[in-house]
């Protein structure tokens, strides 16, 4: 049967179980968009292509499927770049489809021509330039296979306009995909397992470092079984939040620059670190040459390139984490580490900041109060999306998560502007979920145009805008390390309530803590998107904090006389 390249694309997407795409049309995607009326795929019209890539990213993280973003050539394609890099750093499977000028015009600086495959080469798992209609189907199949297999990540497919328009005789080919040189199924060998068992048996102060790989490999039960069998406490990375319930007795909480002080002390004093699906990012290690100096290190990771990249390890078990742990567990003997738990409890007693529920508000509204109160009012069951900065860290600290894929944030790239579009993508992935996004006034203004997308789509998200009048995290660094010279960090903005109302959405302003509950209950009851502007304390800081280049245990702690 004869099909155009555009029709072939949509048919391939349906075969890949795609029902929603996020994008913005243009001259070199007109054939694709014109053909869409024949297919049962919902196209979400974003207001900026960066929003499309963030929506696809969050959609993928929440749904477990591959997210899809579409943009035209030139500026449309380059506007995707930040979102692609975000997905690459956080191992999120998305496929970005871009239009390109006619193949005969490539290389001649045609209108809206940009070498997007060259631009995105460092920030994709793979990318393609397709100039033949016959190549569209096999390339799309390969793109989805690469995006979801092994360590997930973004793939870009750039399709020339003439390839979209031309017609060929075509039938779908579902034969197995074989890519020479691509081996996403590496597995540890028996000798590695024997050495791992030996290190585990000898350890007196073991500690699990659980990252996003635990969630992406669905190794949640294996993590729990291993920890309980060996009586090993668990520290979580930012993207590992939700890998084990908050109230599990072996869950110590978050590690790293703004992690709990007792967690960082435990890492530094451990004699065995078991890194499960994490990459030893600089934000969790502090100064590398002083990181966990007495610990042996076993690194479980699906990506060989991460081994010994940041931290030298004693043993690497490369492969899917779930499979590796299933292979390891039968060889592990039950253990108890009572003395180690007492030592960690002592760290906690020494360094626990004043409990948030005991902080006096003194008539002031703190962002940590807001997050904590929303956690209570939603019973900890909301799907949380954050922007980046103080709002992100406070949400990670005070909105306690018990479920995987319920805390969506930009970890590796730290992309301001992620929050609003990602919340929209998350809602499309899980329409029944109560979605809350915590955003700062700086990051919000980067992608606030996506309020129009939420309004047009008629979807329901709840936006907790923590407005402190600053680029808060940068201001905090200026306070600590630059003698409080606040250069380019004070930031103004529109009347956020009126802005929401201008889009036909509900806007609410909160200035006191006693107003939080009523605002949250109103938002929950409202059928559409709600923006609540919480006017929080300008000088509130995030504690603990490990300054750049410092040892992990040398943290700046919250002053006891200042909440």
State the catalytic residue, choosing from 55, 393, 446, 473.
Answer: 473
Whether 196 and 337 map to the same domain: the answer is: yes
> Is there a domain that residue 540 lies in?
no
Distance CA 95, CA 98 (A): 10
Is residue 388 a part of any domain in this protein? yes
Total domains in the chain come to: 3
For the stretch 35-94, pLDDT in tens is 999 999 999 999 999 999 999 999 999 999 999 999 999 999 999 999 999 999 999 999
Q: Kindly indicate the confidence band of residue 192, based on its pLDDT and cuts at 50, 70 and 90.
A: confident
345 and 214, same domain (yes or no): yes
Question: For position 561, what pLDDT does the model report?
Answer: 62
For residue 259, the Cα-to-chain-centroid distance in whole angstroms is 17
Residue 1 is among the residues annotated as catalytic for this protein:
no
* Nearest residue to 76 (alpha-carbon basis) of 196, 191, 158: 158
Please check whether residue 176 lies inside any domain of the structure: no
The pLDDT-based confidence of 211 (bands split at 50, 70, 90) is very high
Give the tens place of pLDDT for each residue, 380-436: 999 999 999 999 999 999 999 999 999 999 999 999 999 999 999 999 999 999 999
Provide the CATH number for the domain around residue 102. 3.40.50.970
Q: Please check whether residue 402 lies inside any domain of the structure.
A: yes
The parent domain of residue 435 ranges over: 356-535
Does 392 lie in the same domain as 376?
A: yes
Residue 438 falls in the annotated catalytic set:
no
Catalytic member of 11, 16, 49, 540? 49
Average pLDDT over residues 521-539: 98
Residues 201, 106 within the same domain: no
Among candidate residues 3, 65, 125, 161, the one labeled active-site is: 161
Same domain, residue pair 309 and 378:
no
Does 252 score more than 90 pLDDT?
A: yes
For residues 371 and 541, is the Cβ–Cβ distance under 8 A? no
Residue 112 annotated as catalytic: yes
In this predicted structure, the answer to whether residue 7 has a pLDDT above a threshold of 60 is yes
Say whether both 293 and 244 belong to one domain: yes
Of 496, 432, 438, 188, residue with least CA distance to 316: 188
107 with 224, same domain: the answer is no
Q: Are strands 167-169 and 2-4 parallel, antiparallel or unpaired?
A: antiparallel
Mean model confidence pLDDT for the chain: 95
Task: Calculate mean pLDDT across residues 309-313.
Answer: 96
Marked catalytic residue, from 111, 204, 309, 350: 111
Q: How large is the average pLDDT for residues 213-224?
A: 97
The band of 182, judged by pLDDT with boundaries at 50, 70 and 90, is confident
Residue 29 lies in a domain: yes
pLDDT of res. 459: 98
Let me know if residue 175 belongs to a domain: no
Sign of CA dihedral 445, 449, 452, 453: negative
**pLDDT above 90 (res 356):** no
Mean pLDDT of 215-241: 98
The pLDDT, as a whole number, for residue 353 is 57
Domain shared by 331 and 402, yes or no: no
């Amino acid at each position: 049967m004869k099909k155009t390249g555009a029709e072939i694309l949509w048919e391939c997407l349906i075969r890949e179980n795609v029902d929603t795409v996020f994008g913005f049309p243009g001259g070199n995607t007109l054939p694709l968009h014109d053909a869409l009326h024949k297919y049962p795929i919902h196209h979400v019209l974003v207001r900026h292509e960066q929003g499309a890539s963030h929506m696809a990213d969050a959609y993928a993280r929440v749904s477990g499927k591959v997210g899809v973003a579409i943009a035209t050539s030139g500026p449309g394609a380059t506007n995707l770049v930040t979102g692609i890099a975000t997905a690459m750093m956080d191992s999120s499977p998305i496929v970005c489809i871009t239009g390109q000028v006619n193949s005969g015009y490539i290389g001649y600086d045609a209108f809206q021509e940009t070498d997007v495959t060259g631009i995105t080469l460092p920030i994709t798992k793979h990318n393609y330039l397709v100039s033949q209609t016959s190549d569209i189907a096999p390339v799309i199949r390969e793109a989805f296979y690469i995006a979801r297999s092994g360590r997930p990540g973004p793939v870009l497919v750039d399709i020339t306009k003439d390839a979209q328009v031309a017609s060929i005789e075509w039938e779908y080919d579902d034969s197995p995909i074989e890519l020479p040189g691509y081996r996403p199924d590496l597995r540890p060998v028996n000798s590695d397992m024997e050495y791992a068992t030996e290190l585990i048996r000898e350890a007196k102060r073991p500690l699990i470092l659980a990252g996003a790989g635990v969630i992406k490999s669905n190794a949640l039960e294996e993590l729990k079984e291993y920890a309980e069998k060996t009586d090993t406490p668990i520290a979580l990375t930012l993207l590992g939040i939700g890998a084990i319930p908050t109230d599990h007795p072996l869950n110590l909480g978050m590690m790293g620059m703004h992690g709990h002080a007792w967690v960082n002390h435990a890492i530094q004093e451990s004699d065995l670190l078991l890194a499960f699906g994490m990459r030893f990012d600089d934000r969790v290690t502090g100064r590398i040459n002083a990181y966990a100096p007495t610990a042996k290190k076993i690194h479980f990771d699906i990506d060989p390139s991460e081994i010994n990249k940041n931290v030298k390890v004693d043993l690497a078990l490369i492969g899917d984490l779930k499979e590796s742990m299933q292979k390891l567990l039968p060889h592990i003997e039950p253990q108890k580490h009572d003395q180690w738990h007492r030592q960690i409890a002592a760290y906690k007693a020494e360094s626990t900041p004043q409990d948030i529920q005991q902080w006096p508000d003194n008539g002031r509204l703190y962002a940590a109060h807001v997050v904590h109160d929303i956690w209570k009012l939603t019973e900890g069951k909301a799907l949380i999306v954050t922007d980046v900065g103080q709002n992100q860290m406070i949400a990670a600290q005070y909105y306690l998560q018990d479920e995987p894929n319920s805390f969506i944030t930009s970890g590796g790239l730290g992309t301001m502007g992620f929050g609003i579009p990602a919340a929209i993508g998350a809602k499309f992935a899980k329409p029944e979920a109560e979605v809350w996004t915590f955003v700062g006034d700086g990051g919000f203004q980067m992608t606030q145009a996506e309020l129009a997308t939420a309004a047009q789509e008629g979807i329901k998200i709840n936006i907790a805008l923590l407005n402190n009048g600053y680029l808060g995290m940068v201001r905090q660094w200026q306070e600590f390390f630059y003698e409080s010279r606040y250069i380019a960090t004070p930031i103004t903005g529109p009347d956020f309530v009126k802005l929401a109302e201008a889009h036909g959405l509900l806007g609410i302003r909160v200035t006191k803590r006693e107003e939080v509950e009523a605002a949250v209950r109103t938002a929950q009851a409202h059928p559409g998107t709600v923006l609540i502007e919480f006017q929080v304390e300008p000088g509130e800081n995030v504690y603990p904090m490990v300054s750049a280049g410092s040892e992990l245990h040398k943290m700046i702690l919250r002053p006891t006389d200042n909440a």
